[in-house]
Chain A
Amino acid sequence: MSRMTDRPLPGAGVAAAAPGPLSTAVGPEPVKSAPSGAGRGTPRPGRGGPAGRRSPLARGGWTPWLYLAPALVVIGGLLVYPVYQLGLISFLEYTQAQVSGGEPTSFQGFGNYAALFRDEQFWQVLLATVVFAGACVVSTLAVGCALAVLLTRVRAVPRLALMLAALGAWATPAVTGSTVWLLLFDPDFGPVNRILGLGDHSWTYGRYSAFALVLLEVVWCSFPFVMVTVYAGIRAVPSEVLEAASLDGASQWRIWRSVLAPMLRPILVVVTIQSVIWDFKVFTQIYVMTNGGGIAGQNLTLNVYAYQKAFASSQYGLGSAIGVVMLLILLAVTLVYLRLLRRQGEEL
């Protein structure tokens, strides 16, 4: 694996993507005939603009739709249509009895939604979900970015070790990861309490310690994505920029804050949006680690709550309503985030 460090990376970084594999694909001419990138201070701005304004492909007529067709068919048929059905079912009384034909379906209007919003617990769970997901996103991003920077500061062996460990965490199925973490923190059989000298302290009894434990597991299995992505991004940053910064005597934090972070913004936007989407929908970890929502339901999050309320007992109508509410919340969060970005002049 040490090859990683001393061989050129095909496609590491934007600019490099062009000359590397290209020359093998079509011979040397394109390199010569690609003068637009030469002579510029840094390669990035050359292609940073909106896509294809001057591209010969731009006026493709029906071509883009031809390219899009398979994706649209699959997504339309297997994603959009089921979502449409989800919305539909959320307005019906729809339980297993209706599904298997035991009882007729009946239209409920906003009945399922009204029942949901009347439920005091729903609002508590909603608050807990937003706070918990927020904490997960922030911790994951912080850990991921810090370790990405750390990766760039070390030689091959420690880097490889950390990279492999992270990939291992990434590869572990969620059910297994949750079970292992639970075994590790078990008050009687787990090694963690032994190491920390906590006796038989129970991690799942207190509301916050239980959430903290789940948060640790979520961070463990989701930081690798952030770390690898940001690390890849840092490697793509032109070295001159960083050299200049470090020659100016800037501290590591200053370099991150004023040089790296702004340059990595597109990457950070993507990992943030993905983390929000994933952490808001955390299901397996809560379900397995707190045994279906914790002591007296103290650790319920929206997705688990939906499952307990609806899918475990086949009240598909109510479950669909919760699904729709979740979708709308996620949508709102992402919209607000994208708007904030737009205000800072970022593009989609």
Chain B
Amino acid sequence: MKLAHLSARMAAPIAALVVAGLTATACAPESSDNSGGKDEKSGTLRVWLFQEVTNAPKEKVVDDVVTAFEKAHKGTKVDVQYIPVETRAEKIKAAFNDPKSAPDLIEYGNTDTAGYVKDGGLADVSEEFTDWSESKDTDPTAKQSVTVDGKIYGAPYFVGVRALYYRTDIFDDLGLDVPKTQEELISTAKEIRQAKPDLYGLAVGGAYTYGAMPFIWSNGGEIAEGKGGSYASTIDSAAAQKGIKAYTSLFGDDNCPAAKCAGMGGNDTVTAFASGKAAMAIGGDFSHAAIEAGKVKGKYKVVPLPGVKSGEIAPAFAGGNNLGVLRSTTHRTLAVDLMEQLASKKTQGALFDAMGFLPTFTDVRQDVAKREPFVEPFVKTLGAGAKFVPASPAWSQIDASLVLPTMFQEVVSGRKDVEAASKDAAKKMNDAFSSAG
């Protein structure tokens, strides 16, 4: 067959495709019914927790809770599955889309709260949470991370927070003091780089949003301000710009060369520190194991990241995970009960011992800090008041479209100045806030 009539023949099906889209709008895939409705008091409860690389200790803690729970509730079985963190988004969205295969209770990243609520996936448990005797000791930041529009959509499971790791051997060697202010931090970093040009003074990353935010927050800046659904970005405010300037001043041949550091994310900076390439880094309590496995074992300490004034602690980002009950559950009472058991003070304490996850209750946290001195700077940082990303469903979109990394990278690579870059970022955020309503 010659190709002569190719284009004509091909045009027909394509045209049909386009026209079909125009005319047949009434039959898009039907929406799922997520209302659940029933509240059965027995049967099987399905639970999804995140799978950690070394998952066995976590499984043990969870199994103990589950065994006790099954004993207390006759005729109830609990089926726990561990899902990979990497693919959680697909899984959980899929669960919202197909209530039949959805679990009753899930673990989720706390930056996803607002998005999941808007998707109509999480159940409002405000009443149960307030009635729960242990909830009064929940750290306010952790509580904020399960709250959207004043309603509570889960129980905080653990928190993750970042602080300053530094090399004791290098500080001793150069006779340096641990920096007490942000200014000192920056000058110390550059001093180290000058004395030891093969090291980064402070490892920073252009894509390391949560390492950069403390600089903005400590200067009085905010990502966005607002209430409920109507957020407006303030990343271009004078205070925020000051913070951006401070952070981006760390990129350059005098600390962390832009060519390498502009593209780094949080993990890269921690890796650089662990392998002995950096004298300081901003790392989380969860980075501890990775650093212990590296070259610098026994040669480092951790302090809270200094703020602008001496003695201040720069507000850190309160990361972490929550537990939440799905709106589609048919075992609401049981699911909420299990959620409380899994997020209880006792379980969180056990989980800390097993995995090193920081508890979300202030009193439990104090206890574990006494037992394990390593976590003290992190607990201190949390005590000084950690901050959270805007509780808007638009946040996951802003996060996914890399608005903040792009802003830092534009400044660092010299493509735009701080003002222009922050104005562009604010505009993109506002677009997202308004479209996510």
A–B contact via C-beta, under 8 angstroms: yes
Provide the residues of chain A in CB contact with B226, threshold 8 Å. none
Query: B7 and A335: CB pair below 8 A?
Result: yes
Q: How far is the CA of A204 from the CA of B272 in the complex (A)?
A: 17
- Select which of A83, A99, A204, A342 is within 8 A of B2 by beta carbon: A342
Nearest CB of chain A from residue B380's CB, rounded to whole Å = 32
Within 8 A of A (CB), among B114-149: 115, 118-121
Knowing A105-B31, A331-B10, say if A187 contacts B20 (CB, 8 Å).
no
Closest to B27 in A: A88
Q: How far is the CA of A294 from the CA of B22 in the complex (A)?
A: 36
Query: A205 and B6: CB pair below 8 A?
Result: no
Q: How far is the CA of A119 from the CA of B3 in the complex (A)?
A: 37
Query: B277 and A188: CB pair below 8 A?
Result: yes
Within 8 A of B (CB), among A95-140: 96-102, 105, 107
Query: A99 and B3: CB pair below 8 A?
Result: no
- Pick the interface stretch among A8-16, A215-223, A278-286, A306-314: A306-314
**Which 7 A/B pairs are nearest by Cβ-Cβ distance?**
A312-B400, A102-B120, A313-B397, A342-B3, A87-B21, A101-B31, A296-B409
A233 interface residue (CB < 8 Å to B): no
Further contacts, 5 of them, CB under 8 A, given A202-B263, A295-B262, A347-B3: A96-B118, A188-B275, A312-B400, A313-B432, A347-B1
Closest to B22 in A: A91
List the interface of chain B (C-beta within 8 A of A): 1-4, 6-7, 10, 14, 17-18, 20-22, 24-25, 27-29, 31-34, 89, 93, 96-97, 115, 118-121, 206-207, 258-260, 262-263, 265, 272, 275, 277, 396-397, 400-402, 405-406, 409-410, 413, 415, 432
Knowing A293-B402, A331-B14, say if A314 contacts B93 (CB, 8 Å).
yes
Query: A205 and B260: CB pair below 8 A?
Result: yes
Q: How far is the CA of A328 from the CA of B18 in the complex (A)?
A: 11
Query: A85 and B406: CB pair below 8 A?
Result: no
Query: A84 and B20: CB pair below 8 A?
Result: yes
Digitize A311-335: 1 where CB-to-B-CB distance is under 8 Å, 0 elsewhere. 0111100000000000010010001
- Select which of B7, B20, B121, B396 is within 8 A of A339 by beta carbon: B7
Knowing A99-B97, A101-B120, A348-B1, say if A88 contacts B21 (CB, 8 Å).
yes
Provide the residues of chain B in CB contact with A308, threshold 8 Å. 400-402
Q: How far is the CA of A204 from the CA of B264 in the complex (A)?
A: 10
Provide the residues of chain A in CB contact with B28, threshold 8 Å. 85, 88-89, 92, 94, 105
A-B contact pairs, 28 of them (CB 8 A): A50-B1, A85-B28, A87-B20, A89-B29, A94-B28, A96-B96, A97-B118, A97-B119, A97-B120, A99-B29, A99-B96, A100-B31, A100-B34, A100-B121, A188-B275, A204-B263, A290-B263, A291-B265, A292-B402, A296-B405, A296-B409, A297-B406, A308-B402, A312-B400, A341-B3, A342-B4, A346-B3, A347-B3
Closest to B17 in A: A87
Q: How large is the interface on A (under 10, 10 to 19, 20 to 34, 35 or more residues)?
A: 35 or more
Q: How far is the CA of A83 from the CA of B206 in the complex (A)?
A: 38
Closest to A201 in B: B259
Nearest CB of chain A from residue B211's CB, rounded to whole Å = 15
Q: How far is the CA of A343 from the CA of B16 in the complex (A)?
A: 28
Q: How far is the CA of A98 from the CA of B436 in the complex (A)?
A: 12
Provide the residues of chain A in CB contact with B17, threshold 8 Å. 83-84, 87
Closest to B119 in A: A96
Provide the residues of chain A in CB contact with B7, threshold 8 Å. 335, 339
Provide the residues of chain B in CB contact with A206, threshold 8 Å. 259
Q: How far is the CA of A205 from the CA of B261 in the complex (A)?
A: 9
- Select which of B258, B400, B415 is within 8 A of A313 by beta carbon: B400
Q: How far is the CA of A315 from the CA of B432 in the complex (A)?
A: 11
Digitize A74-90: 1 where CB-to-B-CB distance is under 8 Å, 0 elsewhere. 00000000011101111
Query: B25 and A187: CB pair below 8 A?
Result: no
Nearest CB of chain B from residue A168's CB, rounded to whole Å = 25
Provide the residues of chain B in CB contact with A290, threshold 8 Å. 263
Provide the residues of chain A in CB contact with B33, threshold 8 Å. 101
Q: How far is the CA of A346 from the CA of B6 in the complex (A)?
A: 13
Q: How far is the CA of A315 from the CA of B260 in the complex (A)?
A: 33
Q: How far is the CA of A163 from the CA of B17 in the complex (A)?
A: 43
Provide the residues of chain A in CB contact with B396, threshold 8 Å. 312-313
Nearest CB of chain B from residue A204's CB, rounded to whole Å = 5
Provide the residues of chain A in CB contact with B262, threshold 8 Å. 205, 295
Nearest CB of chain A from residue B96's CB, rounded to whole Å = 4
A174 interface residue (CB < 8 Å to B): no
A65 interface residue (CB < 8 Å to B): no
Closest to A109 in B: B22
Query: A99 and B397: CB pair below 8 A?
Result: no
Interface centre among B21, B97, B206, B409 (most CB of A within 10 A): B21
Provide the residues of chain A in CB contact with B397, threshold 8 Å. 312-313, 315
Closest to B405 in A: A296
Digitize A178-221: 1 where CB-to-B-CB distance is under 8 Å, 0 elsewhere. 00000000011100000000001110111000000000000000
- Select which of B20, B401, B410 is within 8 A of A88 by beta carbon: B20
Provide the residues of chain A in CB contact with B121, threshold 8 Å. 100
Provide the residues of chain B in CB contact with A328, threshold 8 Å. 14
Provide the residues of chain A in CB contact with B6, threshold 8 Å. 335, 338-339, 342, 348
Closest to B410 in A: A296
Q: How far is the CA of A75 from the CA of B139 in the complex (A)?
A: 55
Q: How far is the CA of A342 from the CA of B3 in the complex (A)?
A: 6
Q: How far is the CA of A250 from the CA of B2 in the complex (A)?
A: 34
Provide the residues of chain B in CB contact with A331, threshold 8 Å. 10, 14
Q: How far is the CA of A187 from the CA of B258 in the complex (A)?
A: 13
Query: A88 and B24: CB pair below 8 A?
Result: yes
Provide the residues of chain A in CB contact with B93, threshold 8 Å. 96, 99, 314
Query: A187 and B120: CB pair below 8 A?
Result: no
